[in-house]
Chains A and B, each alone.
Chain A
Amino acid sequence: MSLRVIACFDELVRGGVNVQALLSAGASMAGSVAGYADEQSGRTLRVGPDGEALAPEEPAATDRVCKTEDGLSVWLEKAGPLAMNDEMILERLALSIGLRFGRNPPDGRRGLSAALDPDLPRPARAQLLCALGLRPTEQHRIVCLPLFATWRRHPHTVEDVMNTSFGPIHVAVVGSTADVVDARPCGVGAAMALEDLDRSFRTAMVCLRLCNPPAVPIVLADDYGGLVELLATSPAGPLLDVDPLDEIMAHPWGAETLDALIRAGSIRQAARLADVHHSTMQSRIEEIQQALPFDPLDGFGRTRIGIAYLVWRLPHSPVLSAPPTAQQR
């Protein structure tokens, strides 16, 4: 839920909504009145969980108030210590209202989002990541997950929700030993130095999109190395060899057969990997050969089919639209 809170306020800030909209979102999530007072303008606004503005009043002594140095007070009208989720709502609400009045850093992004921005100079990025508590001498990986990912183990780490062209994505920095995250679906980026974590982020996004749960819940950049970085930097335009795959992937056996064919060294081994009879594999491969303008078993044909298969999967990735099933919840 806390990540959804972050994602919600990110959307609101990006959309440039007004203070009443920010307060009503906070009030709605917390289920209590949310208010703010600004010493500079003398303005006070209180909003109920239904989004309606209420009479301006000072917060009660028992309310948890978040004050900034420049005279902005934001509060939730809830007595007693707040639950963790309410603390998060209050923190994000105060941050968002501060941004609305231009009192936070100019680009409005939090640390991790800026630290992974390739347009920022490398030393500046490393500096931001050090400020987040990461050790400059160690290698790290970025992991990327959809907001609805299920976590079996959630390490205490630098993490955030970032807006990407694929929607809001949960992004975390982990150590170079990739087994620290057990969550699915999840793309695990390549291990890099701090100033290169933007590259790790891009590889992690490609890996996430290569996931295909439940069969393939986690994809590691290390399994594909330079291939995955090529995919991360290649333009999204059309690519020779990819279109003919539509016909093959339309078969119920298409994906598993191509997968086995690419991984295997021989037709016999491919048949074993796909768990089908040798003759079945043989006839499927013949059909694949007919659909392609090159022989996927010969020379560079092997490389071409491997790359085409990965490129085809990216725009067809089910992972970011797949909701949790009842069992996962």
Chain B
Amino acid sequence: MCDADGVSSASGPLDGPDVRRPRPGFDAELRGGLALVGGMFPPTITPDLIDFMRTSYAGPPIEELLAGRAISVRDEVFPGHCGDEVIASVFTAEGVTGARPTVLFLHSGGLMFGDRFSGLDRVIEWVERWGIVLVTIEYRLAPEFPDPYPRDDCYAALEWLASDADRLGIDRDRLMVAGASAGGGLAAGVALAARDRGGPAIRAQLLDYPMLDDRGATPSTADFDGVGVWDRVSNETGWQALLGAAYRTEAVSVYAAPARATDLTGLPPAFIDVGSAEIFRDEAVDYAAKLWRAGGSAELHVWPGGFHAFDIFAPHAALSRGMIATRDAWVARVLLD
């Protein structure tokens, strides 16, 4: 679960004596956080753990999220992939009227678990603080609903928000897609699809430690087996559940695995953050670099010693507070009046 030292090798503690490439250790404060996380979110998630994770990683009850906040929420239904009904929760600040900046939030959970209330603590603060509209959707999950269900549900949400903007109190010019982990990959895919299909304008894309690449070929993917949160095997479990037979073939759509996209021109400004001690480090850095080379705007933050989603699992740690404050500052800059 935890490294014995701050600096460690890529061979896990059970891998025996072979010494592999050195890798960054976890931040000392985050190691304390990991000691608490262990049983709830095991480092290695195999298909037989999907049911356990669906219970363990379920979002908090909505009353708990809203307790003590001047926020209203209502559920809406919109047509998702194939026109099927998909639920969305729309959060608005009490007493705020008119067209407001809006965030379409796509939750985390490896494409297989989590719900529209998972990992919502940080983004829900924006509703109260800035009066934004927050929309979080129950996109359908693999393996029961493989690609393209999840991403098409997400893209359909974007079209729904743009087409129903007046009724929902949405400022069409300030629509941001945001997501964490699996949701970050979906958000990047929505931005690509909106560009290619001439869809609704997206003001910005917020990609928190995004899951972008099914190919699993980066060094960081190999470096964190059996430690932290979301290791190589977990990632393979998620991608296989989503892609089935297409997994790691040329048949995979760039909208499902945006790291496969060769053309990143004409995309909205991106904010990408990631930990240095997690498997998504290299694909996140690569995606930012590709955006720059395509003339795009990208703000990239790699937090030293951060494990995957450390801001969700250990929000009190100094590194997490830095990550959250930095992200909030960017959102305020690109989205607010």
Residues of chain B contacted by A108 (CB below 8 angstroms)? none
Q: Which of A11, A236, A315 contacts B31 (CB 8 A)?
A: A11
B337 interface contact, C-beta 8 A: no
In whole Å, how far is B236's beta carbon from the nearest beta carbon of chain A?
15
In whole Å, how far is B129's beta carbon from the nearest beta carbon of chain A?
14
A321 interface contact, C-beta 8 A: yes
Residues of chain A contacted by B2 (CB below 8 angstroms)? 11, 167-168
CB of B36 within 8 A of CB of A8, answer yes
Residues of chain B contacted by A36 (CB below 8 angstroms)? none
Complex-state Cα separation, A246 to B52, whole angstroms? 31
B144 interface contact, C-beta 8 A: no
Q: Which of A7, A316, A321, A325 contacts B226 (CB 8 A)?
A: A321
CB of B35 within 8 A of CB of A168, answer yes
A77 interface contact, C-beta 8 A: no
Residues of chain A contacted by B13 (CB below 8 angstroms)? 165-167, 320
Q: Which of B6, B33, B38, B226 contacts A147 (CB 8 A)?
A: B38
Residues of chain A contacted by B29 (CB below 8 angstroms)? 12, 15, 17, 21, 25
Q: Which of B15, B28, B320 contacts A12 (CB 8 A)?
A: B28
Within 8 A of A (CB), among B298-337: 314-318, 320-321
Residues of chain B contacted by A5 (CB below 8 angstroms)? 36
CB of A166 within 8 A of CB of B320, answer no
CB of B28 within 8 A of CB of A326, answer no
CB of A165 within 8 A of CB of B32, answer no
A9 interface contact, C-beta 8 A: yes
The proximity string for A residues 94-107 relative to B, scoring 1 for CB distances below 8 Å and 0 otherwise, is 00000000000000
CB of A15 within 8 A of CB of B6, answer yes
Complex-state Cα separation, A136 to B38, whole angstroms? 36
B62 interface contact, C-beta 8 A: no
Complex-state Cα separation, A5 to B38, whole angstroms? 12
CB of A236 within 8 A of CB of B318, answer no
B16 interface contact, C-beta 8 A: yes
Complex-state Cα separation, A145 to B124, whole angstroms? 39
Complex-state Cα separation, A326 to B28, whole angstroms? 30
B77 interface contact, C-beta 8 A: no
Complex-state Cα separation, A17 to B316, whole angstroms? 13
Residues of chain B contacted by A147 (CB below 8 angstroms)? 1, 35, 38-39
Residues of chain B contacted by A7 (CB below 8 angstroms)? 35-36
Residues of chain A contacted by B32 (CB below 8 angstroms)? 8-9, 11-12, 15, 17, 21, 25
Residues of chain B contacted by A236 (CB below 8 angstroms)? 16-17
In whole Å, how far is A278's beta carbon from the nearest beta carbon of chain B?
33
Within 8 A of B (CB), among A226-258: 236-238
How many contacts between A and B, using CB within 8 angstroms?
116
Binds A, one of B41-49, B66-74, B188-196, B246-254: B41-49
In whole Å, how far is B64's beta carbon from the nearest beta carbon of chain A?
12
CB of A326 within 8 A of CB of B55, answer yes
CB of A50 within 8 A of CB of B315, answer yes
CB of B36 within 8 A of CB of A315, answer no
Complex-state Cα separation, A238 to B314, whole angstroms? 39
The proximity string for A residues 124-162 relative to B, scoring 1 for CB distances below 8 Å and 0 otherwise, is 000000000000000000000001100000000000000
In whole Å, how far is B60's beta carbon from the nearest beta carbon of chain A?
13
A52 interface contact, C-beta 8 A: yes
The proximity string for A residues 295-329 relative to B, scoring 1 for CB distances below 8 Å and 0 otherwise, is 00000000000000000000111001111111000
Residue of B nearest to A24 (CB): B316
Within 8 A of B (CB), among A31-64: 49-52
In whole Å, how far is B219's beta carbon from the nearest beta carbon of chain A?
22
The proximity string for B residues 221-260 relative to A, scoring 1 for CB distances below 8 Å and 0 otherwise, is 0000010000000000000000000000000000000000
Residue of B nearest to A21 (CB): B29
Complex-state Cα separation, A181 to B317, whole angstroms? 36
Residue of B nearest to A235 (CB): B17
Complex-state Cα separation, A135 to B195, whole angstroms? 75
A269 interface contact, C-beta 8 A: no
CB of A21 within 8 A of CB of B17, answer no
- List 23 interface pairs A-B (beta carbons < 8 Å), by A numbering: A4-B35, A8-B33, A10-B35, A11-B28, A11-B34, A12-B32, A21-B28, A21-B317, A27-B316, A28-B316, A51-B321, A147-B1, A147-B35, A147-B38, A147-B39, A148-B39, A165-B13, A167-B1, A315-B15, A315-B16, A320-B14, A322-B42, A323-B52
What are the 10 A-B residue pairs with the smallest beta carbon separation, nearest first?
A15-B28, A51-B316, A323-B42, A315-B16, A28-B316, A7-B35, A12-B32, A11-B31, A24-B316, A8-B35
Beyond A51-B318, A236-B17, 6 additional pairs, beta carbon < 8 A: A11-B32, A15-B29, A167-B1, A168-B1, A323-B52, A326-B51
